[in-house]
């Protein structure tokens, strides 16, 4: 496993998508602590101290294009894209009961939108060797209710996205998935045993991978755990 790291993210531009839910605040804090120029994309105007707020509605293709355009227009580059999992807002329907519009909305929010965002960002991530994409799996606090079939299925596809990106665009692109850790009495490898802090530090590690590092790998608790 090759995983050489930059000491910091100074001078590097990071777009964090989906920051309006889940572990967004902890991930933003970690990336800022590492020195990133951080654009925080959310649909609800989420703002983190030190981050640059960015209107980003993952259900709207025009919003996606405009968000990437603003980052590159401002900075002339994009080094890292971090995709956080969508938070399900439907917990009261089953696949048998849901309307087609409801199913489509769930898929658009959790997979179609992130896919279109990566497509918009790829030309800039591939302008130099070592652009990075970090996907973050849903955990128990962000995953959908078991009855929310559309979100469950598209979340599984989202989790496999890093493997596809690695198989298609490596070695110019380094794409990995971060799986939230579980609370550990011994503190684990990072996060002092706290799953949210562990997830954030794992993202911070993957965002600092140098060109030539391995991709297509699932990471948890700040270490690689498998392909």
Q: What confidence score (pLDDT) does residue 91 get?
A: 53
| Residue 3 covered by a domain | no
Phi, psi of 73 (to 5 degrees): -65, -40
Contact criterion met (CB below 8 Å) for 207 and 27: no
Tokens of 29: 């804090």
| Residue 8 covered by a domain | no
- Number of domains making up the chain: 1
Predicted confidence (pLDDT) per residue in 180-209, tens digit: 765 444 556 675 667 788 889 999 999 999
Assess whether pLDDT exceeds 50 at residue 40.
yes
User: Which H or E run includes 53?
Assistant: strand 52-55
CATH classification at residue 78 = 3.40.50.720
Lowest mean pLDDT among 4-8, 15-19, 34-38: 15-19
Cα–chain-centroid distance for residue 27? Answer: 9
Asked whether the whole model's pTM tops 0.75, one would answer yes
Phi, psi of 177 (to 5 degrees): -115, 135
| Residue 182 covered by a domain | yes
Assess whether pLDDT exceeds 80 at residue 155.
no
The dihedral through the CA atoms of 211, 214, 218, 224 has a sign that is negative
Assess whether pLDDT exceeds 80 at residue 73.
yes
In 56-193 the beta strands, taken as DSSP E runs, fall at 80-83, 131-136, 173-178
Q: Which domain holds residue 179?
A: 13-226
Instruction: Please enumerate in sequence order all residues whose Cβ is within 8 A of that of 44, keeping only pairs 6 or more positions apart, or say none.
Output: 20
Q: Comparing 32 with 105, which gets the higher pLDDT?
A: 32
| Residue 43 covered by a domain | yes
């Amino acid at each position: 496993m090759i995983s050489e790291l930059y000491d910091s993210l100074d001078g590097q531009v990071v777009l964090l998508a989906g920051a309006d839910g889940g572990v967004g605040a902890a991930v933003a804090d970690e990336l800022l602590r590492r020195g990133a120029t951080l654009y925080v994309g959310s649909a609800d105007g989420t703002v983190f101290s030190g981050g640059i707020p960015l209107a980003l509605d993952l259900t709207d293709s025009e919003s996606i294009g405009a968000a990437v355009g603003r980052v590159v227009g401002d900075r002339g580059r994009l080094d890292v894209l971090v995709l956080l999992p969508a938070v399900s807002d439907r917990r009261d329907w089953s696949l048998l009961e849901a309307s087609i519009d409801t199913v489509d909305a769930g898929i658009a929010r959790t997979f179609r939108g992130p896919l279109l965002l990566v497509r918009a960002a790829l030309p800039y991530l591939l302008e130099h060797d070592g652009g990075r994409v970090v996907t973050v799996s849903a955990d128990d606090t962000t995953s959908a209710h078991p009855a929310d079939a559309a979100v469950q299925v598209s979340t599984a596809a989202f989790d496999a996205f890093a493997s596809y990106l690695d198989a298609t665009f490596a070695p110019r692109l380094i794409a990995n998935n971060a799986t939230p850790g579980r609370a550990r009495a011994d503190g684990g490898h990072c996060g002092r045993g706290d799953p949210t802090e562990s997830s954030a530090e794992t993202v911070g590690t993957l965002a600092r991978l140098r060109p030539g590092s391995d991709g297509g790998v699932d990471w948890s608790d700040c270490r690689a755990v498998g392909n």
